[in-house]
């Protein structure tokens, strides 16, 4: 330090230049320190906060279960009449005899078509493993073979359609496996261990096959939910990363969510969540998902949605929650009074939203114009004024510029009662994916990701409508194989809720 002082110039002009350089250096270092503190605070929240979504260690066993799920989806779409069984077919183990059994007898009747009476000459017994919540049972489907006493013709009742042909799982068991994995976030290898404690020997690969075939069967129903979502005047869109096993290392794939929820403005339209899977985050994916959509889209500012908003009939609604989050991060890391004031002003806008929830769109607009618009205008003007008081390179300045840019695309909610102040509806819908990836960690292939998107669509839509997803899926899986595709809407969760009421 003393050597540095000795090297200072003695000329007053040169000394002033040196002092100005030191001041500029100190300012630059202060900004760098502020930036690093902000980043460190964010990393600490990411690693240790209650909403941490840090990457977990990969597990080979979990990867295999997703690959088998995808493989089963491909097999289910092929012609079942073609011989596709391997040469060394594993031997099917008998169902435990101690399990309770319910028996159903299907008889062709007592009289032959020729007029003669039928007599029993034998029977075929088909056993399927079923799951009743809390216990396993075996359904025995007995089909007596009857022979006519006059013409010796042998008749037998047809075996009813089942979710998986030539398979043993009942509709309730398939629904239980799907809900356990995608609603309760229990990976298939854990489910296999749980079943083993009940004396049921079901390998994880078997469960993976059931998941793949079930989601393939249910895919048209998920597509119907997607069509319902895209008919909404305003929807919520978001995406979240999910790991996908690749050849050398895991790649970052995406789960996209599109939500229609009109309950805040007292609409009778059923809420629904539609999920789609992609291997990357390119903007072409949301553009394809919403190709024919017309209306408002709540989004978080991701540039991949820009092609959608370039259309004349699609309008962007920005998210205040993302604006607020940046000020919260700065206040927590730096204690900035400006950030604290911004949070307080935003809280006033949310207080107004509590008063307008559940009323008609026209009433919402009237109250927002009266109570929210003055606060919104003052917030925008106040934020613009703060930029002249702080360094343009600081994290706070970046947050303010982001807020001003998004608020221009947020004004629509003041004029439209069918819009919300934020995109939290979509963010809530991806919580199930965030919780699930902490347990099964990643999907093994593109097919496994598509199966997950179908399952999330069905389960989360049922939950939005107050329907027990396991009861509904059991009901659907028992019927969908014989249900006409033109009457698919009859199987939607809100139709099930209405019939069960």
Please list the rounded mean pLDDT of every run of 10 residues in the chain (501 residues): 57 75 76 73 63 39 56 55 56 84 89 89 90 85 92 91 86 96 94 91 92 95 97 96 82 94 95 96 94 94 90 94 94 91 97 96 97 97 93 91 94 96 96 88 83 97 96 94 91 89 65
CA distances from residue 458 to 65, 173, 276, 497 in whole angstroms, order as listed: 21, 16, 12, 14
Q: How many CB atoms lie within 10 A of CB 263?
A: 14
Q: Where do the domains of the chain lie, and which CATH numbers do they carry?
A: 213-318+423-499 (3.30.420), 320-414 (no CATH)
Please, what sign has the CA dihedral across residues 258, 263, 267, 271?
Answer: positive
The runs of H, that is alpha helices, within 49-132 are 60-77
222-233 as b/e, with b when 16 or more CB fall inside 10 Å?
bebbbebbbebb
pLDDT number for residue 86: 55
Q: What is the pTM of this model?
A: 0.80
pLDDT number for residue 76: 53
CA dihedral of residues 319, 322, 327, 328 (deg, nearest 10)? 120
């Amino acid at each position: 330090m003393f050597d540095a002082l000795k090297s200072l110039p003695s000329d007053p002009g040169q000394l002033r230049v040196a002092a100005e350089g030191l001041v500029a250096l100190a300012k630059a270092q202060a900004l760098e320190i502020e930036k690093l503190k902000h980043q460190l605070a964010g990393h600490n929240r990411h690693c240790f906060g209650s909403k941490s979504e840090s990457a977990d260690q990969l597990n080979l066993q979990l990867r295999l279960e997703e690959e088998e799920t995808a493989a089963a989806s491909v097999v289910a779409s092929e012609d079942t009449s073609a011989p596709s069984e391997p040469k060394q077919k594993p031997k099917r183990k008998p169902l435990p005899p101690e399990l309770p059994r319910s028996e159903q007898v299907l008889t062709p009747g007592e009289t032959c078509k020729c007029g003669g009476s039928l007599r029993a000459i034998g029977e075929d017994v088909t056993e399927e493993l079923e799951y009743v919540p809390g216990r396993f049972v075996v359904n025995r489907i007995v089909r007596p073979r009857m022979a006519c006493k006059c013409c010796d013709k042998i008749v037998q009742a047809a075996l009813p359609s089942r979710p998986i042909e030539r398979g043993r799982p009942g509709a309730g068991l398939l629904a239980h496996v799907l809900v356990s994995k995608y609603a309760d976030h229990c990976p298939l290898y854990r489910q296999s261990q749980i079943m083993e404690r009940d004396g049921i020997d079901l390998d994880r690969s078997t469960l993976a096959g059931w998941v793949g075939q079930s989601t393939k069967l249910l895919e048209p129903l998920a597509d119907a939910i997607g069509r319902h979502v895209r008919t909404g005047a305003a929807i919520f869109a978001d995406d979240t990363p999910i790991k996908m096993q690749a050849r050398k290392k895991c790649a970052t794939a995406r789960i996209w969510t599109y939500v229609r929820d009109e309950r805040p403005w007292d609409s009778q339209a059923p809420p629904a969540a539609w999920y789609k899977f992609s291997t990357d985050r390119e903007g072409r994916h949301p553009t394809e998902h919403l190709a024919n959509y017309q209306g408002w889209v709540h989004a978080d500012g991701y540039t991949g949605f820009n092609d959608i908003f370039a259309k004349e009939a699609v309008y962007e609604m920005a998210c205040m929650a993302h604006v607020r989050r940046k000020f919260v991060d700065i206040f927590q890391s730096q204690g900035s009074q400006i950030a604290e004031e911004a949070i307080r002003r935003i809280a006033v806008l949310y207080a107004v939203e509590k008063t307008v929830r559940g009323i008609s769109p026209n009433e919402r607009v009237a109250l927002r114009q009266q109570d929210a618009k003055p606060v919104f205008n003052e917030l925008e003007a106040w934020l613009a004024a703060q930029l002249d008081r702080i360094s343009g390179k600081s994290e706070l300045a970046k947050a303010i510029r982001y807020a001003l840019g998004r608020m221009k695309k947020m004004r629509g909610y003041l004029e439209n009662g069918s819009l919300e102040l934020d995109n939290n509806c979509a963010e809530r819908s991806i919580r199930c994916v965030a919780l699930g990836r902490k347990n099964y960690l990643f999907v093994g292939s593109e097919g496994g990701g598509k199966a997950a998107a179908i399952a999330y669509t069905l389960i989360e839509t049922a939950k939005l409508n107050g329907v027990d997803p396991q009861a509904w899926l059991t009901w659907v899986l028992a019927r969908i194989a014989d249900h006409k595709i033109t009457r698919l809407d009859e199987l939607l969760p809100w139709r099930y809720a209405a019939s069960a009421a």
